[in-house]
Amino acid sequence: MTTDGPTPVKIYRAADAPPGALDGESIAVLGYGNLGRSAALNLRDSGVKVRAAYARYDAERKFRVPAIRIADPKSCQCGEVLKGAIKPHECKVFGKACTPETPLGALMVSSEGACAAYYQFGDFARQRQGRDAA
């Protein structure tokens, strides 16, 4: 099957979802891997109840691990980005203190994270290239 051009893609933004749409709901995180755990923790910290489908494979649940809690710095707004309340570039530290070379939150640590992807390929990357060329 051939097509004439790219298939249109709908990009959903925070404004597309009614505020509080997930209040009182449970979220299941599938693929409890590299980003799944961070996403689940950020969602849980935002007040959403999280059910991790593959949590039984979590080493911290299976083995004795010291009770260490590592939180994102207060300036980091990963939870707000995950909820769609803000876009990555709207975070106070995005592209300044928080870059792929000096990540502050889970969404910048992984190259698959929303902030890292936006930094590398989004409007911010194009603006950065324009400044570098000037």
Q: In sequence order, what are the residues at sequence separation of 6 or more whose Cβ sits closer than 8 angstroms to the Cβ of residue 116?
A: 100, 103, 107, 108, 109, 110
pLDDT of residue 66: 74
For the chain, report the end-to-end CA distance as a whole number of angstroms.
Answer: 44
Under 8 Å CB-to-CB from 70, ≥6 apart: which residues?
none
45: tokens are 């910290």
Q: Using N-to-C axis directions, what is the helix angle for 114-121 and 123-133, rounded to 10°?
A: 40
pLDDT of res. 132: 58
Residue 9: φ, ψ to 5°: -120, 130
- Give the single-character DSSP code of 49: E
Q: Please report, in tens digits, the pLDDT of each residue of the chain (134 residues total).
A: 455 666 676 777 767 777 777 777 777 666 556 666 677 776 666 666 666 666 676 666 777 777 767 677 889 898 889 888 999 999 999 999 999 999 998 888 887 888 998 898 877 766 766 655 55
